[in-house]
Amino acid sequence: MVLSVLLWDLMDVGSYGRAYAVAIVLTVIILAVVAVAKRIFGVELVRKRREATG
């Protein structure tokens, strides 16, 4: 089962403790994917502000 569907099913039946745990796992997975993609592709997630020269 897809984690997002499991999350909604758990919330629907009132199992908020388990839904919270699934949400934390899903968040960790998303952060891990972003970190791996950043390392592999070398993408900067935040643009650095250019200093004004004048």
pLDDT score at 51: 67
Q: Establish if 28 belongs to a structural domain.
A: yes
Domain containing 15: what range? 3-41
**Is residue 14 assigned to a domain?**
yes
> Which tokens go with 35?
């970190």
Q: pLDDT for 7-49, tens place per residue?
A: 999 999 999 999 999 999 999 999 999 889 888 888 776 777 7
> For residues 19 and 11, is the Cβ–Cβ distance under 8 A?
yes
Residue at 47 is within a domain: no
User: Is 53 inside a domain boundary?
Assistant: no
Token representation of residue 31: 């952060």
Question: Quick one: 31 exposed, middle or buried, by C-beta within 10 A (0-12, 13-18, 19+)?
Answer: exposed
Total tally of structural domains belonging to the chain = 1
Residue 49 token pair: 């502000």
**Whether this model's pTM surpasses 0.85:** no
Collapsing DSSP states into helix, strand and coil, what is residue 45? coil
Answer yes or no: is 36 within a domain: yes
The pLDDT assigned to 42 comes to 82
User: Quick check: 54 pLDDT over 60?
Assistant: no
